Structure 1
Amino acid sequence: MLGSVTSTISLRKCFYLSVMVFVLSTLMAMVIIIKLSPLESVRCQSRGGTTPSIEWSSTSPGANININNRRIDNDSQSENTNNETAKETNDDNNIYHKKMRNNSNNLLNRMSKLSWKMRSKMKPLLMQNNTKQLDINYNIHIFYYPWYRSLSYDGEWRHWNHNYLPNWKKNDKRVFPDGSHRPPADIGANYYPSLGCYSSNDPQVIDRHMWQLREAGVGVLVVSWMPPTAPDSTDSLMADLLDAAHRYNLKIAPHIEPYPGRNPINLMEHISYLFNRYASHPALHRAARNNNGPLLPVVYIYDSYRFPSSAWWELLSERGNLTLRGSEIDAVYIGLLVESSHRSHIKKSRFDGFYTYFAVNDFSYGSTWKNWKDLNKFATQNGLLFVPCLGPGYIDTQVRPWNAENTRHRRHGQYYETAWRSAMSSGANIIAITSFNEWHEGTQIEPAKSVSNKDFTYLDYEPEGPDFYLNLTKWWVQQFTEKFNFL
């Protein structure tokens, strides 16, 4: 009885808070429509004391936008200075309009903060039933990167000390930083991990990550992999990752990264090596190519479109001269779709499915949310798996300082929520999250903390807290599971 009363009260609170947020959002929309002031706030963050909140535009992160404080008296300066009455009138008008704009700005800022405050109070209510452990959903995949190394654990830094990458736009004459970052104070990321600059080799870190993903209900880690001979290879960690995943009843699918000299022939040789070592492990993720087919390992192949479809056909078609179908390295092979034309490439290559990877809406055809329904329809018509990939946001300006135009601000979870809704409405029954810990590109849902050095202040998840995106993921996994009635 007490439980039902508590549930009723919680639902009632949730309803009232939802109504209040709706009313506030409507009021804000009305204010915007009548053009009191442009609302560009994408991050509300307090650093303590009296530090003002910073408003960033979507095209120039870090720029303080306040167009309503520009002086608007250029015309009055050209008036006859001897006409004191006209000057005073113009000055009065300027002061009046400036005051009105400032008042409008203040009103919008207060409404924005109040809206986020109400939303932050409502979210725990929406997620309060998630205190119980979710059943794992193996149709939720997440990209995982085990390439980090620390000086204290490994004797060297890797990836935390990432280089600034050269600008791919050769006609861009702007000057940007170069060289490499110097951890632990300065890292190649716009956010800073709660665990600090950890080593992916550390068993405690691995165990912590597996526990976090298990709590969120995510079933499959798509683990970045390259063969032992490749630079930055992660093969030495696969056994430990598989063992740790198995302890939490999670699964692992390899994500074949590009590496020097990769081609379809040696790629199959390297996958043969991978299967010979790990195919018997119970944590290796398997799925059926069709309803009546056997369970086969699942393999993601990044940049698959760089090889011609004719080369893939020889390997993935049952009629190919080098076919691997029915062999010991037969698998569910999932290629990357970036451009619209890649649909034909995927089909002609005889891939079993395709994924979109990028967490940047509108960056590519595949990553654009509005295209996912059509892509799912294409996949269904051709007997393919479609895996839309969503993320909480994107920012990589600590690695690609010239790439601000592709930043996608998180907006306190709104971006992530919209991506989830788009993926679920597409009809796809497998969803991948980009990513758990790709810190360089700011797509991680791994907990982050507030950190700053003398030159840079790292982004964080405040005011919702370091675990916000894990909790939000858990909530959406539950919605996805209920919608598709997964058991």
Structure 2
Amino acid sequence: MLLKKYVKTRRKVKIFLLLAIVVLLVVTIIVLGSTGHSAAIELLLDERFIARAYRDGDTQQQQQPHQERQPSAVALLQSKREHGIIVPEKYNEQQIKARIIQSRLDHMRQQQQQQQQRDNEVEQSRTTLDVVTTAVHIFYTANQVWYKSKKPSAPPPEHPKDVPLTTPKPVKILNTAFYPALGLYKPSSSLLSQHFENIRSCGIGVLILSFPGSSAKPADTALLNQIIELAPQHNLSVTFELSVAGNQSVEFVRQQLQDISTYAELPGFYRVYSQSRRALMPVLYVSNAYKLSDSLGRLLCRQTASQLDDGDGLRRILDAFFIGHIRLKSHLDVMRRLCFDGFYSKLPSNGAVFASTWKNWSYLKSYALSYKMLFVPTVGPGFAERNKFPRHGDIQRHRSNGRYYGVAWRTAILNHLGFINIASYNNWPDGSQIEEVIPRAGFLDYNPGSKTKYLDLTAHWVGNFLKTRQEAAATAQNCYELLNQTIC
């Protein structure tokens, strides 16, 4: 309405549009002028910064001519030139890879230092026992066999009728699923002292060594004598595990017992007092005892006064508590028929055989009580035999962060008669060790936890075992509690 009121002719319309165009032009010029001024200010600031950077860089190089030159702003701003021509920087893949590898190595080194610091703190606060009980025995391997030979598969021939000219040589591979914290060690006096101190700190009092026999090398015999002399210094005793088989003759077993009798008189050999026989008796484990024939095994039976003149009885050579290794339920009658004083399970793999199955230990205990025998359950933290075709079958048992070990101990404390043995301190090929390990690529470890995790767990469960024995002894006297080193 206003446009119609004031603009009534075409001439006035043209004047109005011309004024509007002029106004828009003036506004545009003002806006553009202010923007160009700010851009000029920013450009001026950039130039001043560059000039100051170059000036500071030159001054720094002049002040420190003999020192190592540090990268300055000039190095960041200047481009490489060759003959006055700017050369663009190239992508150097090797330098980038080297920098990435170095950063990873620094990170791993830092993690290793932190882990070592945590291990040192844990070792300072380790679970140890001041008392030692001879009712807990542990298998100990003196000479380790770290490597085993493996025959590589031959390459397939190019033609079916071709005969290979050479046979591939066997290669040696490391025969353990874990890697020891002390490395692939060899026996020495300092190493044995360290091992024995770890065993003693767990409250264990008896070592079980595999007896090498009369065919042993002089080095093995010297090592055995060294262990028997060194063990009492750490409040430990030693006993043997004798390996026999059904096809072995009476003379072989007789010679083995004759050799053991020379060690049984030493102060470091483990003995208990028998109330029925009124004498100190050594304790011997017999591996594969269920394979003995009746004619050979019955020579272990105690003879009457009229039979003592025959001289055929093996107990005339060495009278001891013979504890035989069993696997099946039928082996119980074999042990009783062969006049063994007790039996043990040996294999620390739950469910592998009847004797190593935890739920069957109550039956084994009642059987031993019925015939006045010893039942020695074998506990272990796990089983990791590193073979493609294990000799015991597929019976691997995971450690489950120590829970497997705990269930085995609880069941053994309830059902043992006489002793409990542990398999083992350092049986690395079977993966049943409690010795310290370190994390290493391609090997298992004890994570989460420190390298002394299973030494601490062993001390904990031995303490529970001692507490249970003391409570049982306070209520009633039991021949199998081994109070004062005495057994019925």
Q: Normalising by the residue count of structure 1, what TM-score does the alignment of the two structures yield?
A: 0.63
Map of 1:324 onto structure 2: 314
Map of 1:61 onto structure 2: none
Map of 1:138 onto structure 2: 134
Q: How does 1:152-301 map to 2 (within 5 A)?
A: 159-164=145-150, 182=172, 186-200=173-187, 202-230=188-216, 234-258=220-244, 262-276=248-262, 278-290=263-275, 293-301=278-286
Q: Is the 8 A contact 2:245 2:292 kept in 1?
A: no
Secondary structure in 2 matching 1:477: helix
Q: Is the 8 A contact 2:146 2:184 kept in 1?
A: yes
Q: How does 1:282-431 map to 2 (within 5 A)?
A: 282-290=267-275, 293-319=278-304, 322-325=312-315, 327-398=316-387, 400=389, 405-431=394-420
Q: Is the 8 A contact 1:397 1:404 kept in 2?
A: no
Q: Distance in 2 between matches of 1:350 and 1:404?
A: 30
Offset, 1:416: 0.3
Map of 1:97 onto structure 2: none
Q: Distance in 2 between matches of 1:361 and 1:465?
A: 25
Structure-2 change in CA distance of 1:360 and 1:165 (3 Å): farther
Offset, 1:301: 0.9
Map of 1:57 onto structure 2: none
Q: Distance in 2 between matches of 1:398 and 1:242?
A: 33
Where structure 1 has 5 or more consecutive residues not aligned to the other structure, the ranges are 1-47, 51-119, 149-158, 167-177
Corresponding letter in the other structure for 1:237:
L
Q: Is the 8 A contact 2:126 2:456 kept in 1?
A: no
Secondary structure in 2 matching 1:256: strand
Where structure 2 has 5 or more consecutive residues not aligned to the other structure, the ranges are 1-105, 109-117, 153-167, 471-482
Quick check: 1:450 aligned with 2:439? yes
Offset, 1:315: 3.2
Structure-2 change in CA distance of 1:193 and 1:271 (3 Å): same
Map of 2:466 onto structure 1: 481
Corresponding letter in the other structure for 1:464:
G
Offset, 1:465: 1.1
For the pair shown, which has the larger CA radius of gyration, 1 or 2? Answer: 2
Q: Distance in 1 between matches of 2:255 and 2:405?
A: 38
Q: Is the 8 A contact 2:246 2:292 kept in 1?
A: no
Q: How does 1:12-161 map to 2 (within 5 A)?
A: 130-131=127-128, 133-148=129-144, 159-161=145-147
Structure-2 change in CA distance of 1:448 and 1:425 (3 Å): same
Structure-2 change in CA distance of 1:136 and 1:428 (3 Å): same
User: What is the alpha-carbon root mean square deviation over aligned residues?
Assistant: 3.1
**Per-residue displacement from partner, 1:200-243 (whole Å, max 9, x unpaired)?**
3x111111111110101101111011214158994332211111
Corresponding letter in the other structure for 2:288:
D
Q: Is the 8 A contact 2:208 2:239 kept in 1?
A: yes
Secondary structure in 1 matching 2:398: coil
Q: Normalising by the residue count of structure 2, what TM-score does the alignment of the two structures yield?
A: 0.63
Offset, 1:380: 1.2
Offset, 1:257: 2.7
Structure-2 change in CA distance of 1:462 and 1:300 (3 Å): same
Corresponding letter in the other structure for 1:358:
L
Q: Distance in 1 between matches of 2:365 and 2:268?
A: 28
Secondary structure in 2 matching 1:350: coil
Q: Distance in 1 between matches of 2:178 and 2:299?
A: 44
Corresponding letter in the other structure for 1:313:
R
Structure-2 change in CA distance of 1:469 and 1:236 (3 Å): same
- Length, aligned pairs only: 335
**Per-residue displacement from partner, 1:293-324 (whole Å, max 9, x unpaired)?**
31111111101111123321123332576213
Q: Is the 8 A contact 2:177 2:431 kept in 1?
A: yes
Secondary structure in 1 matching 2:148: coil
Map of 2:32 onto structure 1: none
Secondary structure in 2 matching 1:439: coil
Structure-2 change in CA distance of 1:338 and 1:373 (3 Å): same
Offset, 1:404: 7.5
